[in-house]
Amino acid sequence: MDLLKFQRNEITEYEVYRRISSLIGGDNRDTLREIAEDELKHYETLKKITKREVRPSKLRILIYLAFFKIFGITFTVKLMERAEESAKRGYERLAESYEELKGILGEEFEHEKRLAGMIKEERVEYLGSMVLGINDALIELTGSLAGFSMALLSTKYVAAAGLVTGVAASLSMSASEYLSRKSELRGSPRKGALYTGIAYMVSVLLLVMPFFLLDDILRALASTIALASLIICVFSSYLAVIREVSVARSIFEMLLTSLGVAGVSYLIGAGAKLILGLEVG
Domain extent at residue 240 = 123-276
Question: Last residue of a domain, which of 59, 89, 120?
Answer: 120
- Shared domain for 145 and 28, answered yes or no, is no
What CATH number is associated with residue 111? 1.20.1260
The answer on 85 and 15 residing in a single domain is yes
pTM: 0.67
Structure confidence at residue 65 (pLDDT): 93
> Are 261 and 127 members of one domain?
yes
Q: Mark whether 86 and 129 lie in a shared domain.
A: no
Transcribe 59-108 into DSSP letters: HHHHHHHHHHHHH-HHHHHHHHHHHHHHHHHHHHHHTTT-THHHHHHHHH
- 281 in a structural domain: no
Cα separation, 140 vs 170, in Å, equals 11
- Give per-residue pLDDT as tens, 9-29: 889 999 999 999 898 877 778
List pLDDT tens digits, range 55-104.
999 999 999 999 988 888 888 888 887 777 666 676 667 766 677 666 77
- For range 237-255, the mean pLDDT: 81
Of 74, 92, 120, which residue sits at a domain end?
A: 120
Residue where a domain terminates, one of 77, 97, 120: 120
Decide: 45 and 100 in contact? Cβ < 8 Å. yes
Q: Is residue 203 part of a domain?
A: yes
Do 199 and 134 meet the contact criterion of CB atoms below 8 Å apart? yes
Q: State whether 116 and 254 are in the same domain.
A: no
Q: How many domains does the chain divide into?
A: 2
DSSP class of residue 263 equals H
Q: Assess whether 102 and 232 both reside in one domain.
A: no
Residues 142 and 106 in one domain: no
For residues 200 and 246, the answer to whether their CB atoms sit within 8 Å is no
